[in-house]
Structures are given as C-alpha cells and as structure tokens.
Amino acid sequence: TACGGGDDSGDGGGDGLVVGFAQVGAESAWRTANSASVQSAAEADERIAELKFVDAQQDQEKQIEAVRNFITQQVDVIVLAPVVETGWTDVLQEAADAGIPVVLADRGIEAADEDLYVTRLGSDFTEEGRKAGTWAAETFAADTDGTRILELQGTTGSAPANDRKAGFFEVLDAEGLDYEIVDSQSGNFTAEEGKAVMETFITTHGLEGVDLLYAHNDEMGLGAIQAIEEAGFTPGTDIQIIIVDGSKAGFQAGVDGKLNYIVECNPVFGEQLMDVVVQVADGETVEKFTPVEEGAFDATQFEAELPNRQF
C-alpha cells in the first residue's frame, strides 16, 4: 500500500481505495487488537491506498463527525463500528446521498436503518449471550434455592450489550432456571467502571448468596475481580464469573482460578474486512451479515488455550 493519494476508482484501476474507518475507541484489549488487525491488514493490502483511522473515544458525536469528514473527503468506502445501535439515520443517509457505501465492522445498528449500510462483518452477540446462558443453566441446574445473578452490562445502547443480555436470559428462561437478577448495571466495557460498579453492587447487596457474575467483557470482569478480592471474597469460588472476549489477561485469570467461563469474541478480522471493502467498492453482491467464527471455554480448557490467544 502506497502512502497518501489514491484515486476514487473501485474498479481495480488507479492507486487503490481510500477507506475511512470510524472506530469505537480504545476501551478494551479486544478493541486494541481489532484496531491493530484492521490497520495492519490495510497496510499490507495492495488494493487499499489509504486507511483514514479515527478513534471516537466511545463518543457517538465524534463518530458522526468522523463519518461526515469521510464524506467531505470523498473516500471510496466508509467503515463504521457504531458505538450504539440508534441515532445513525441522518449521517448514513448523507453517505448514501454522496454515493459512498458503508460497511459496518463489529457492532450493528437498529433494523430500521438496515438499508443504509451494505453489510456487517462481526460477531453474533446474541449467540455469545446464549453460550454464556447455556453454561449458566447447566452449572446451576441443581441450585434448588434459586440462582442469584449480578450482571455487568457493556456500553448502554450498544449492540453487544443489548444482544449479550438478550441471548443470556433467553436461554435461562428457555431452560427454566430459577433465577433472580440481583442487580444489572453498565460498566461501559472498561475495567475502571466495571470495578466501580462491582464495588457498588457489593456495598448495596453484599456477596453472600450471590452465585454468579455475568460480565459482558473481559475488562469489566477483571475490574470486578479486583473489587471482589478487595472486599475479602474469592472470585471464581465465592462467586462464579463469566466473561466475554477471551483476551490473554482474561484466560490468565481463568488459569488462576478467578473466573469460570469464557465466551470467545474474535477481533482479528482485518484481512476479511479488507476483502469485504473491496467487494463492496466493486459493487459485488455480499451477504448482509458475515459472522466471525467463535468458541467458548470452561475451566478444563483455560490452560491449554492460553498460548493460542492473539490479544
């Protein structure tokens, strides 16, 4: 990939594509790995002349501004990882009016705006929630006095927070688990906020009789583990913990016995994304949604899997 310039042709001629990427932020190890994957894939790809990268610091206004700048700059394709699901209609309509195709990477947006993007490449967050729910329903099936659950949700209004919650409780309900949501708050996908919210949970409800913490990502789970330890409890034993993502730090906490189940979410899809970007620029027909392949791991698998983790 050459630096700078590039023409606007999506037909394989000229210097390649100019792509604008409005990224969510840098809130987690997952996000850092995702940005690195996309940036290095763009750099290595001869079909891409330039990737204009904007870190929106988890702020939708900043993302909207980035997309507007990409439109002004007449990039060939806009890649958007929308921080929340709603509020995109106007700016995506502006991109459509300018004839610039939009590809969603990672997070999705509300169904009403489905016509305003070409395709989404990312995880099936509902399925991730279902995996967490399946493990919880099996693990606590014999819990006769009701399973008491704390939930640390991701960023309010984000697709992974909405869908990881929905998939989880869908399975608990379908399996007929007798459970109670002791509390459920957003920790905004960060370690700091995850820790702070867990401290509040402990102050408000205590931890006696709480069976399970479901954290929508590694960072919040790891922050909560600190809060649990500082309050004098043993994470993974006094309270069982599920996290989503599966970073090295997350698996290490699993190996250390501090958490019990990891649902994988894979951020390393940069090369796949570049293929989609080129197809879209060439006007090829693509699927509306391409899921990333993912697994899930229990305590018997943490140690063997740790060396395989890429982020």
Q: Is 153 helix (H, G, I), strand (E, B) or coil?
A: strand
Angle, helices 89-97 vs 60-72, to 10°: value is 10
Given strand 102-105, what is the order of strands in its sheet? 48-55, 17-23, 77-80, 102-105, 119-122, 289-291
Taking the complex as a whole, how short is the minimal distance between the CB of residue 128 and ligand GYE, in angstroms?
8
Taking the complex as a whole, how short is the minimal distance between the CB of residue 27 and ligand GYE, in angstroms?
5
Q: Which two tokens stand for residue 138?
A: 């099996």
Q: Which stretch binds ligand GYE (CB under 6 A): 25-33, 96-104, 177-185, 302-310?
A: 25-33
Q: Which residue lies nearer to ligand GYE by CB, 16 or 122?
A: 122
Q: How far is it, in rounded angstroms, from Cα 227 to Cα 221?
A: 10
**According to the binding rule CB under 6 A, does residue 217 interact with ligand GYE?**
yes
Q: How far is it, in rounded angstroms, from Cα 214 to Cα 48?
A: 40
**According to the binding rule CB under 6 A, does residue 139 interact with ligand GYE?**
no
**HEC string for 85-140:** CCCCHHHHHHHHHCCCCEEEECCCCCHHHHHHCCEEEECCHHHHHHHHHHHHHHHC
Q: Which residue lies nearer to ligand GYE by CB, 160 or 270?
A: 160
Q: Which stretch binds ligand GYE (CB under 6 A): 1-9, 22-30, 135-143, 207-215?
A: 22-30
Q: What CA–CA distances, in Å, run from 142 to 54, 159, 276?
A: 49, 32, 46
Residue matched to tokens 């996000």: 31
Task: Give the per-residue contact string, 187-216, with ligand GYE (x = CB under 6 A; - = no).
Answer: --x---------------------------
Q: Which stretch binds ligand GYE (CB under 6 A): 28-36, 110-118, 276-284, 287-295?
A: 28-36
Q: Which residue lies nearer to ligand GYE by CB, 50 or 106?
A: 106
**According to the binding rule CB under 6 A, does residue 130 interact with ligand GYE?**
no
**According to the binding rule CB under 6 A, does residue 107 interact with ligand GYE?**
yes
**According to the binding rule CB under 6 A, does residue 120 interact with ligand GYE?**
no
State which of residues 16, 82, 108, 160 lies at the interface with ligand GYE (CB under 6 A). Answer: 160
Q: How far is it, in rounded angstroms, from Cα 95 to Cα 239?
A: 48
Task: Give the per-residue contact string, 253-292, with ligand GYE (x = CB under 6 A; - = no).
Answer: ------------x---------------------------
Amino acid in position 73: Q
Radius of gyration over every alpha carbon of the chain, rounded to an integer in angstroms: 21
Q: Which residue lies nearer to ligand GYE by CB, 148 or 195?
A: 195
Residues at the contact surface with ligand GYE, assessed by CB under 6 A: 27-28, 30-31, 106-107, 123, 160, 189, 217, 244-245, 265
